[in-house]
Amino acid sequence: MILYNVRLLPELSNEIATHEGYLEIQDGKIKNISPRKLKQIPANAFDCHGMTLLPGFFDLHTHLDLLGVGNDYKGESLELLVESAKQAEHYLEHGFTTVRICGSNYRISQYVKEMVEQNIITGPTILSAGNILGTSTKEKNSGISSLDYFQDGPWAFIKAARKEFAYGADFIKIYASGSAFNPTGVPLNPIMTEEEISAAVRAAIESNSYVAAHAHADQAIRSCIKCGVKTIEHGTYMSESTLDLLMQTKNCYWVPTLSAMFVSQTDPKERRFWLDRLIPMLKQTSSILNQAYQAGETIGFGTDSAPNSKQYENGIEFQYRQKYAKMKNIDILLQATKISAAIAGFAGKKGEIKSSYDADLVLVNGNPTEDLSVLYQRPNAVWKSGKLVFKN
């Protein structure tokens, strides 16, 4: 298959810059890229009409089964599996071809991942954390749900992490601080000891994997960095000194999720509550995130949202990184592709348009380096492993 009349951005296409080039796809991989105009057009070629071709996007922090019913879903687990399988395809409709599911009810994401890999359903490449590991403090805040479970002490965390890997988890997700989305949670409070965090990290290393940590509180973030956590999720109240520690620590990365603080509720009382709770957090995160960005910190791309959300439909994470964190368009694109690919372990395989890379591709009408708003809507076409999976 050949895609022709494409605009390629040099930062994402092995330094190739063109507005009329073409590339050849074979066996799900990019075989050849040319900046030149295609002279002889074969029957199976796809005319991109000068639109911009990008690598598939990464969402390093998403939740497949947040279906508008919340974490305390009362329906049958098999019903939720069916609905989640339907949702998987929606990632592709927004250009996200690789996602990291940071916790799911009943470990649903593990089963959806298997369905995608066995070609039972169409969906993105999925990395799954399964259940989230928290302490009994979290239990008091939210009550036991099917999304996470609770224990205390280092050996309890080792056992819980091993159990998640036995069920097929790709990585471990922990709650190191209080939650923002639980109305009774206290995001400023750390809720795990360093011994517990280290135990989870040790168990992950045993399985050649890593830990991702939900961490709003500065002390929780600092502890996670010191204990060997690979990705800091959210990082809302990170201080300058903790940012310095992060930047000095190898193999530890920040995955901020600004779009999680987008308030979509329409009920006046409910909307007021969430505005009062989340807008200060958005401002706080954006401030330290801009400092991290200016200092050259490696920043991943995450949304903490689901593919049926307004955050996805309106490209809120792209918007907020530009508007609030004052990032350049090309750097936001790099975070959503090349940088996140490296953080997720796909360096040299995904995240760029290069020969031998997976043909995960997104076609958008316009040049996002000049006008990022072209990413605030669904793309014109998406390919996953060389197969056209969405056309707008």
Are residues 15 and 118 both part of a single domain?
no
pTM of the model: 0.94
Q: What pLDDT, on a 0 to 100 scale, did the predictor assign at position 183?
A: 63
Tell me what pLDDT residue 273 has: 79
Do 10 and 118 fall into the same domain? no
Q: Kindly state whether residues 73 and 162 are assigned to the same domain.
A: yes
Predicted local confidence at residue 69, as pLDDT: 43
| Distance, CA of 104 to CA of 373 (rounded, Å) | 31
Q: Are residues 201 and 312 in the same domain?
A: yes
Report how many domains make up the chain.
2
Q: Which residue has the tokens 């470990």?
A: 107
Dist. CA 59–CA 330, nearest whole Å: 17
Tell me if 29 sits within 8 A of 357, measured CB to CB: yes
Q: Do 94 and 12 sit in the same domain of this protein?
A: no
Regarding whether 140 and 13 lie in a shared domain, the answer is no
Domain span holding position 182: 59-343
- Say how far apart CA 79 and CA 392 lie, in whole Å: 29
Do residue 255 and residue 379 come from a single domain? Answer: no
Q: What is the pLDDT of residue 144?
A: 45
Sheet order of strands, 57-62 included: 57-62, 96-101, 125-128
Question: Are 290 and 328 a contacting pair, CB within 8 Å?
Answer: no
**CA end-to-end span of the chain:** 19
For residues 46 and 105, state if they share a domain: no
Statement to judge: residues 135 and 18 lie in one domain: no
What SS3 state is found at 58? Answer: strand
Backbone angles phi, psi at 269, to 5 degrees: -70, -45
Low-confidence ranges of the chain (pLDDT < 50): 69-72, 143-144
- Looking at the chain, the number of H-run helices and the number of E-run strands are 12, 17
Co-location of 359 and 323 in the same domain:
no
Nearest to 232 by CA among 241, 338, 240, 222: 222
Q: Residue 26: which CATH number?
A: 2.30.40.10
Q: Which token pair is 30?
A: 């990019």
CA distance 281 to 242: 17
* 218 shares a domain with 88: yes
Long-range contacts at 274-277 (CB < 8 A, ≥ 24 apart): 277/180
Together in a domain, 313 and 356: no
The CATH number linked to 258 is 3.20.20.140
Amino acid of residue 5? N
Nearest to 171 by CA among 347, 337, 344: 344
- Quick one: pLDDT at residue 71? 44
